């Protein structure tokens, strides 16, 4: 957790990426083994770099774009109102 018990930016995005991982796990039967492996590898890489990514000047844009791409790939966004996205 960040200062004063509030979640940091990386904590927030880490939880969002973990939610994406859980959704991917739930939908394993919808994807090939290779697609799952590729997605999990990419998720691990982003999660490993998340603290560093969240310190960049354009962190919100950069990490939100990455998260959006993972969500689309995992089928989390079907017809979501873009104004409702974090």
Q: Domain containing 48: what range? A: 3-74
The DSSP element (H or E) to which 15 belongs, if any, is: helix 9-26
- The reply to whether 66 falls in a domain is yes
- Cβ–Cβ < 8 Å for 84, 78: no
- The reply to whether 83 falls in a domain is no
- The reply to whether 24 falls in a domain is yes
- The reply to whether 37 falls in a domain is yes
Question: In the prediction, which pLDDT does 3 show?
Answer: 53
- The reply to whether 82 falls in a domain is no
Rounded CA gap, 82 and 18, in Å?
21
Per-residue pLDDT tens listing for the chain (86 residues): 555 555 789 999 999 999 988 888 888 888 888 988 999 999 999 999 999 999 999 999 999 999 999 888 876 544 344 444 44
- The reply to whether 84 falls in a domain is no
- The reply to whether 47 falls in a domain is yes
CA count, 13 A, side-chain hemisphere, 64: 9
Cα 36 to chain centroid distance, Å, stands at 15
- The reply to whether 80 falls in a domain is no
What's this model's pTM, rounded to 2 decimal places?
0.73
Number of structural domains in the chain: 1
Query: Which DSSP category does 35 fall into?
Result: H
């Amino acid at each position: 957790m960040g200062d004063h018990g509030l979640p940091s930016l990386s904590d927030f995005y880490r939880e969002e990426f973990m939610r994406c991982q859980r959704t991917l796990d739930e939908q394993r039967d919808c994807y090939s083994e290779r697609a799952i492996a590729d997605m999990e590898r990419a998720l691990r890489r982003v999660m490993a770099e998340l603290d560093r990514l969240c310190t960049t000047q354009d962190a919100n844009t950069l990490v939100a774009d990455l998260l959006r791409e993972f969500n689309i790939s995992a089928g989390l966004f079907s017809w979501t109102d873009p104004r409702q996205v974090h």
